[in-house]
């Protein structure tokens, strides 16, 4: 197994763990952290694929992923603060506005 393959599997594992966390945890902040873990997996994947292909594009994409992650964190956390101020709790279960 090459380094790239190992890294991709590592990335996939991080992504999977992030998914599990996102689905199970009820604290909004931790849910966000889980998405960051997923981002981390994606980022590793990009780098690994660049490595496998032997070029720099993977790293370029990884940098853009980094930018997106920063944007997402900034906005997402602003929203979390808003939600917290409105409800006084971080429990995701307290938001049921999407009920059909």
Taking CB under 8 A as the criterion, which residues in 75-94 touch another protein? 75, 77-82, 84-94
Using CB under 8 A as the binding rule, whether residue 14 contacts another protein is answered as: yes
**DSSP 8-state secondary structure symbol assigned to residue 92:** G
Contacts 24+ apart (CB under 8 A), 91-95: 91/26, 91/27, 91/28, 92/26, 92/27, 92/28, 92/31, 93/26
Binding positions for another protein, 45-64, rule CB under 8 A: 47-49, 51-57, 59-60, 62-64
Smallest separation, CB 60 to another protein (Å): 6
Q: What minimum distance in Å lies between the beta carbon of 51 and another protein?
A: 6
CA distance 12 to 82: 32
- Residue 27 within binding range of another protein, rule CB under 8 A: yes
């Amino acid at each position: 197994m090459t380094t790239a393959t190992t890294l991709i599997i590592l990335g996939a594992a991080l992504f999977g763990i992030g998914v599990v966390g996102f689905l199970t945890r009820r604290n909004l902040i931790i849910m966000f952290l889980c998405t960051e873990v997923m981002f981390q997996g994606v980022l590793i994947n990009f780098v690994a694929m660049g490595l496998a292909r032997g070029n720099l594009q993977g790293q370029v994409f990884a940098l853009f992923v980094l930018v997106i992650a920063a944007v997402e964190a900034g906005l997402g956390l602003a929203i979390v603060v808003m939600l917290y101020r409105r409800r006084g709790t971080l429990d995701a279960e307290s938001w049921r506005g999407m009920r059909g």
